[in-house]
């Protein structure tokens, strides 16, 4: 991974993202790039650098940091600053006063357009639990997320928890609908197969319910949640893309969304 790139506009949510990104850059032994996107009609780049420099230096600690100020669309500039080897970090939302946009819409756009993993950080950071959480649904995207999550757990010396959620939406026309026991058995087989084929060691959990609800609930006790950008569960007729969007907004810990290479 080449750089950790973080969007910063001075808001509390962006400040939380900056602090998390600085710790990640230190953990990964890489450079931190802070990108501020401003409206040239309201403030100058030099004024912004001078105003934000103390907070950025304090958050960065001893990490090498570069602060860039650009003008234009926030999401477009953040996406353009990244390549596939980078890590992009954004706050879950922000004041958006610098460029006239809420960071919530920026984070959503970055999740869908960035060529690299994107981490969405909430303002309130939880205590350290020593757990990395990953959602698994049998898709190629989730399989890639599983391998990324395993590396993140190793990097943090944390335990990896792999969760597969099963659910059956009854439409009233089934001749024979599976029982909860059937769904859980199928889920255990799928999750065990994914772990065996990827060679990943993890605590495996198969839960009954919708994936977005299950992952959000379990994220209360995790340091990082990792999800594939898109996926599909044949058991739950579930699009992991919508799950990733939901978890990025509602997870209780930073949520990392990764794309399949």
Q: What are the structural domains, with CATH classification, of the chain?
A: 3-121 (3.40.50.620), 131-258 (3.40.50.620)
CB 57 within 8 A of CB 86: no
User: Residue 233 above 50 pLDDT?
Assistant: no
Nearest 5°: the CA angle 201, 260, 249 is: 85
Does 98 have pLDDT greater than 60? no
> Given strand 3-7, what is the order of strands in its sheet?
65-71, 31-38, 3-7, 87-91, 118-121, 255-258, 224-228, 131-135, 159-166, 203-208
Mean pLDDT of 113-128: 85
Q: Which two tokens stand for residue 32?
A: 């931190």
- Examine the pLDDT at 194 and tell me if it is beyond 80: yes
Percent of the chain's residues with pLDDT above 70: 87
Q: Look at residue 62 in the predicted model and tell me its pLDDT.
A: 85
The answer to whether residue 66 scores a pLDDT higher than 90 is yes
What was the pLDDT predicted at 186? 93
Separation of alpha carbons 133 and 140, rounded Å: 17
Band of pLDDT at residue 235, cut at 50, 70 and 90:
very low
Q: pTM for the complete prediction? A: 0.87
Confidence band, pLDDT 50/70/90 cuts, at residue 99:
very low
pLDDT band, very low/low/confident/very high, at 158 (cuts 50, 70, 90): very high
């Amino acid at each position: 991974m080449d750089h950790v790139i973080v969007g910063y506009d001075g808001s509390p949510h962006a400040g939380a993202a900056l602090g998390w990104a600085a710790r990640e850059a230190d953990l990964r032994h890489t450079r931190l790039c802070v990108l501020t996107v401003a409206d040239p009609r309201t403030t100058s780049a030099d004024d912004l650098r001078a105003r934000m420099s103390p907070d950025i230096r304090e958050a960065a600690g001893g990490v090498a940091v570069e602060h860039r100020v650009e003008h234009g669309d926030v999401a477009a500039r953040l996406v353009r600053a990244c390549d596939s080897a980078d890590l992009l970090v954004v706050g879950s939302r922000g004041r958006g006063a610098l460029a006239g946009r809420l960071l919530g819409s920026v984070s959503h756009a970055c999740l869908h357009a960035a060529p690299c993993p994107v981490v969405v950080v909430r303002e309130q950071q939880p205590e350290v639990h020593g757990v990395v959480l990953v959602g698994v649904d049998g898709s190629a995207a989730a399989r890639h997320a599983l391998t990324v999550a395993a590396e993140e757990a190793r990097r943090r010396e944390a335990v990896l928890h792999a969760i597969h959620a099963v659910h059956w939406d009854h439409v009233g026309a089934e001749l024979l609908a599976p029982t909860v026991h059937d769904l859980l058995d199928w889920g255990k087989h799928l999750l065990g197969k994914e772990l065996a084929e990827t060679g990943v060691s993890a605590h495996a959990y198969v839960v009954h319910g919708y994936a977005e609800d299950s992952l959000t609930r379990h994220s209360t006790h995790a340091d990082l949640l990792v999800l594939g950008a898109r996926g599909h569960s044949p058991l739950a007729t579930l699009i992991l893309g919508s799950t990733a969007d939901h978890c990025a907004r509602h997870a209780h810990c930073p949520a990392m969304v990764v794309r399949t290479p």
